[in-house]
Chains A and B, each alone.
Chain A
Amino acid sequence: MENTNDGEKKVVMIVEDDEFLRSLTAKRVEKEGYKIEVAVDGENAISLLDTLKPNLILLDLLLPGKDGFEVLKKIRSLDAMKAVPVIIFSNLGQKEDIEKAKALGVDDFLIKANFTLDDVVTKINKLVKK
């Protein structure tokens, strides 16, 4: 089921400040046949969205500078990005965080430590197929 043609590949944007987690996630998702775009912080993510139109965004919450919630607000305020699936992928997982994210319009909320990258890929496949 891997896409061989680069032009047809669906784009997954990974917003993650931890370098190792970012590279692991990118490696695993890339293997599934997606084209990966990475952002290392909130500012970086927002500026990338000027030119990029990813098919899904994997978003961490605790980021230096602008945090994940602010990025999420920005995403939902852009006409082109209103419907793009967003999965929160964070180690924050208090009820308040989950509710705040849901109110801002996320498709899923995963706590990193409680899932494996295989689980994340399964979620991505489900949401991108829609």
Chain B
Amino acid sequence: MEISEPQPQQSKLIELSQLPVNPLIFWGVVTVGLVVAVVLILSATGVVVGANWLLLVPVGAYLLIIGFFISYLSKIYRERNRLMVERIRDEQIKIDEFKKLNQDLENYAKQLFDKDFELTLANKRLQSLEQAKSKFVSVTTHQLRTPLSAIKWTFHMLIGENLGKITAEQRNFLQKGYDSTQRIIMIINDLLNVDYIEADKTDYNFLPINLTELVDGIVFEFTNQVESKKIKLIFVKPSNPLPEVAADPVKIGMMLENLIDNAVKYTPDGGRVTISLSDARINSARSSVEVAIADTGIGILPAEKDKIFHRFFRGSNAIQSKPDGSGLGLFIAQDIVEKHGGEIWFESKAGEGTIFHFTLPIFNAETPPK
């Protein structure tokens, strides 16, 4: 967008307004000069003699009036020119400013366009990277799980004496091999879970869930594990039936398993794990049921309290007690609880035990969680 310039007109006006003398004096001098010239011409030619001189008075006066009138007009004209020039100058400045503004806008628009292009490219790259990561994780985990299944089953068949009698010492070694394989499988499953949870952010299916039944089912799955560690696993059922919560049963099941597994894993043999449900928050602003999982385990060190929900973080005492672990369990648990609109927190004393609490909102058919 170009703006044409009114240059020629402006320069002409400037010339006019820049006469070197005041027009009043200029035209005054011109008039007086004319009168003197007329008188001199008349006297020299002998046209005006004697009384005729008197005629010169009105002629002179007339010429003088005309002279002043012209000089006045000229002054107004000059003034008008001056104003016009000023105005044109102002306009010109404005035009220049607009031109600059326009140029700036064009530059910004171009920069924006470039940025947009860059961002679109970056976003595309991120998306394909995310897809590649998901694909990589699922293919790898699948490929790893197949040979691990073979190892696990072989150990299990040997331990179960399906392939012949074994000695106590052989059983001991085979059991260790089986346990290690089992731990690798758990880590792979955690990795797969994280990928799955991050990939499907909106893929939650909230249903009215009876939490007491759900917890009961999961506690049952731990029967063998707690027996072998001689840990008392107690589920304190609420005395009054609780209202249903809005939850995705698969995801809540996954996180409950994780929390109970942690409690059992990090509690020394002969300890206790207690799970309880509470209706204390049912009448609060965000009506919810609270679940607590208390153990008599190794606890969480005060210095590490802030990091415990971080992805891949494992407490130093946890690493010492169980060298393998993905550090993903609590990260996943927090993610799941928050997507339900609940909260998760804990109280812990190192060496004495930990209580994990989390809340799940009461199911409300009118306002399901988003």
In the bound complex, what is the Cα–Cα distance between A24 and B149 (angstroms)?
Answer: 10
Docked-complex contact B149 and A91, CB < 8 angstroms = yes
In the bound complex, what is the Cα–Cα distance between A91 and B250 (angstroms)?
Answer: 18
B55-63, B95-103, B156-164, B343-351: which lies at the interface: B156-164
Instruction: Name A21's contact: one of B138, B153, B192, B200 (CB within 8 Å).
Output: B153
What is the interface size of chain A, counting residues whose CB is below 8 A from a CB of the partner? 21
In the bound complex, what is the Cα–Cα distance between A53 and B296 (angstroms)?
Answer: 54
Docked-complex contact B150 and A114, CB < 8 angstroms = no
Q: A20-B150, A116-B152 are in contact. Are A91 and B157 (CB under 8 A)?
A: no
Instruction: Name A62's contact: one of B142, B152, B153 (CB within 8 Å).
Output: B142
Q: A27-B162, A28-B162, A114-B189 are in contact. Are A91 and B156 (CB under 8 A)?
A: no
Docked-complex contact A113 and B148, CB < 8 angstroms = yes
A113 neighbours in B (Cβ, 8 Å):
145-146, 148-149, 152, 185, 188-189
**For this complex, into which size category does the number of interface residues on chain B fall?**
20 to 34
Docked-complex contact A91 and B153, CB < 8 angstroms = no
Instruction: Name A112's contact: one of B149, B157, B200 (CB within 8 Å).
Output: B149
Per-residue interface assignment for chain B, residues 193 to 229, with 1 indicating a CB less than 8 Å from any chain A CB and 0 otherwise: 0001000100100000000000000000000000000
Q: Smallest CB-CB separation from B185: which chain A residue?
A: A113
A21 neighbours in B (Cβ, 8 Å):
146, 149-150, 153
In the bound complex, what is the Cα–Cα distance between A112 and B185 (angstroms)?
Answer: 10
Shortest distance in angstroms between A33's beta carbon and chain B's nearest beta carbon? 13
In the bound complex, what is the Cα–Cα distance between A24 and B203 (angstroms)?
Answer: 37
B276 neighbours in A (Cβ, 8 Å):
none
Docked-complex contact B145 and A31, CB < 8 angstroms = no
Instruction: Name B146's contact: one of A25, A91, A116, A118 (CB within 8 Å).
Output: A91
B148 neighbours in A (Cβ, 8 Å):
113
In the bound complex, what is the Cα–Cα distance between A25 and B196 (angstroms)?
Answer: 29
In the bound complex, what is the Cα–Cα distance between A91 and B148 (angstroms)?
Answer: 10
In the bound complex, what is the Cα–Cα distance between A33 and B145 (angstroms)?
Answer: 28
Q: Is B74 located at the chain interface by the 8 A CB criterion?
A: no
In the bound complex, what is the Cα–Cα distance between A94 and B250 (angstroms)?
Answer: 12
Docked-complex contact A116 and B196, CB < 8 angstroms = no
Of the listed residues B145, B150, B153, B160, the one surrounded by the most CB atoms of chain A closer than 10 A to its CB is B153
Q: Is B154 located at the chain interface by the 8 A CB criterion?
A: yes
Q: A91-B146, A111-B145 are in contact. Are A118 and B188 (CB under 8 A)?
A: no
B157 neighbours in A (Cβ, 8 Å):
24, 27-28, 117
Task: Tell me the interface secondary structure of chain A in the complex.
Answer: helix
In the bound complex, what is the Cα–Cα distance between A28 and B159 (angstroms)?
Answer: 13
Shortest distance in angstroms between B21's beta carbon and chain A's nearest beta carbon? 97
A118 neighbours in B (Cβ, 8 Å):
156, 160
Q: Is A92 located at the chain interface by the 8 A CB criterion?
A: yes
Q: Is A126 located at the chain interface by the 8 A CB criterion?
A: no
Q: A94-B138, A111-B145 are in contact. Are A117 and B200 (CB under 8 A)?
A: no
In the bound complex, what is the Cα–Cα distance between A90 and B154 (angstroms)?
Answer: 17
In the bound complex, what is the Cα–Cα distance between A51 and B146 (angstroms)?
Answer: 30
B250 neighbours in A (Cβ, 8 Å):
95
Interface positions, chain A 23-59, Cβ under 8 Å from B, are 24-25, 27-28, 31
Q: Is A107 located at the chain interface by the 8 A CB criterion?
A: no
Docked-complex contact A117 and B142, CB < 8 angstroms = no
Contacts A24-B157, A27-B162, A113-B149 supplied; 9 other A-B pairs, CB < 8 Å: A21-B146, A21-B153, A24-B153, A62-B142, A91-B142, A91-B149, A113-B148, A113-B185, A117-B156
14 contacts between A and B (CB under 8 A): A20-B150, A21-B149, A21-B150, A24-B154, A28-B153, A62-B142, A94-B196, A95-B200, A95-B203, A113-B152, A113-B185, A113-B188, A116-B153, A116-B156
Chain B contacts to A: CB under 8 angstroms:
138, 142, 145-146, 148-150, 152-154, 156-157, 160, 162, 185, 188-189, 192, 196, 200, 203, 250
Closest 9 CB pairs between A and B? A112-B149, A113-B145, A91-B145, A116-B156, A113-B185, A113-B149, A24-B153, A91-B142, A20-B150
